[in-house]
Amino acid sequence: MIKKFLGIVVLGLLLCSNVEAQKKKIGNGLFINIPNKYKYFELTFTQLVSRFPEIISDKPIYNDFGIGMGAKLIVIANNQKTIKFFKDITSVSGLEKLNKKHVQPLIQKFQDQKFLDKMMKIIQKIEPNVDFENMTEEEMINLMEKISNDPKMIKAFERLFKPHFKKFNAEYNPDKYTILLIGDKKAKFIDEIRNKDIDQLNKIVRDALIELYEGTADPSLKDIKDWQFKIAKNHDGNLYLYSDDSLQSPYVSSKFYQEIFLTAYDNKLFLALSICVKKCNGSTDFLNIVKPSNLYVESNPNIDATASNDLTEQLKTLNELYKSGALTKEEFVKAKKKLLN
């Protein structure tokens, strides 16, 4: 009896986060949830190109991913200041203001001789015998990786960034937000991967990540080589890529949570990136937001929730299936009643 009571309490707590949300149609026959008190921003590719004509210079890339003039960029955020940031970076005047107010002062700080001298002293303490004049490119890359992991260097960078981050956060307050990119044409890459098995696709993605890192030789991208992701098929048989492995910056100690999801619906691109900076509890709002789309639903939802002897665990499994969209509300209620009886 006590187990049943605890199971009901836990289930209620788990489900309460899904109660207050507004369902919204976003195009291509898809719906998403807008969590309670969240703000919504939408921009079509037509609007974006009218402001920045130069972005259509690489047409083959847009064609490969099915990005036409009707494609949409959507942002859902838990405050208006974050929406303001995306409005600024997608307008000419806003981008100029952001560059002048936030980017240029940071660049000037990097060029400050006092800062450069301080960085050089730290480097010399880490590697006292380093010879910059005769150093090979590979040796330079290895040194930069070592420096980026050094606590003293991280603290130095944080002291440098702190006033700039504080100013930026005061204006834009990035906290919880999700960015969606929705294609409006058939994405050519879908045909290229349709007949490949999961192992092949995993290797293709892994090789591309390694190539990206080696091509840039940027220490901040070091972790991308080992980025953890999952490739699978959803209930419609469409391939998807999902990852909750957040790629953290080596230059700052503050952490954030990130989820990324890439798939196709009706042969059109659907890309979601969810970020949480504060009070995240180990996740973002990704599952809640994309739930009505039914795009992130495993190909085999018939998981036996009764496999566990613990009622709380069984109810938790059912709740996870319901939240992911693998179970309808009716199926969830029926299964819950079966367990509690």
Helices (H), 73-226: 80-89, 92-98, 104-111, 113-126, 137-148, 151-172, 188-193, 198-216
Are 211 and 198 in contact, with CB atoms under 8 Å apart?
no
Q: Same structural domain for residues 69 and 90?
A: no
Do the bridges between strand 268-276 and strand 257-265 make them parallel or antiparallel, or are there none, so unpaired? antiparallel
Burial of 183 (0-12, 13-18, 19+ CB in 10 A): buried
- Parent domain of 115: 84-174
Residues 203 and 273 in one domain: yes
Asked if residue 113 is part of any domain, the answer here is yes
Please tell me the total count of domains within the chain. Answer: 2
Residues 105 and 217 in one domain: no
Q: Is residue 170 part of a domain?
A: yes
- What CATH number is given to the structural domain containing 191? 3.40.1000
Q: Are 188 and 224 members of one domain?
A: yes
Residues 36 and 102 in one domain: no
Structural element, H or E, at residue 74: strand 72-77
Q: Is the confidence at residue 254, as pLDDT, over 80?
A: no
**Model confidence band, residue 203 (pLDDT cutoffs 50, 70, 90):** very high
Q: What would the pLDDT profile of 114-154 be if each residue is shown by its tens digit?
A: 877 877 787 777 778 777 777 787 777 777 777 777 777 77
Q: Among 89-93, 159-163, 166-170, 229-233, name the one with the lowest average pLDDT.
A: 159-163
Residue 97's pLDDT is 94
- Per residue in 273-316, pLDDT tens? 999 998 887 778 898 999 899 898 754 444 344 444 456 666 76
Domain boundary among the residues 174, 206, 224 is at: 174
Asked if pLDDT for residue 69 goes beyond 70, the answer is yes
How far apart (Å, rounded) are the C-alpha atoms in residues 210 and 310?
43
Question: Domain boundary at 300, 319, 336, which?
Answer: 300
**Of 26, 53, 51, 60, nearest to 40 (Cα)?**
26
Predicted confidence (pLDDT) at residue 234 exceeds the cutoff of 90: no
| 33 strand-pairing partners | 23
The whole-model pTM stands at 0.75
The verdict on residue 328 lying in a domain is no
Mean pLDDT score of the chain: 80
11 falls within a domain: no
Domain annotation covers residue 270 = yes
| Domain co-membership, 66 together with 93 | no
User: Would residue 188 count as lying in a domain?
Assistant: yes
- Looking at the structure, tell me whether residues 68 and 202 fall in a common domain: yes
Are 221 and 292 part of one and the same domain? Answer: yes
Are both 64 and 185 inside the same structural domain? yes
Q: Is the same domain home to 186 and 293?
A: yes
Considering the domain architecture, whether residues 188 and 274 belong to the same structural domain is answered as: yes
* Residues 55 and 199 occupy one common structural domain: yes
Residue 341 domain-assigned (yes or no) = no
**Residue 266 falls within a domain, yes or no?**
yes
What is the mean pLDDT of the segment spanning 147-163? 77
Domain final residue pick, 174, 190, 210: 174
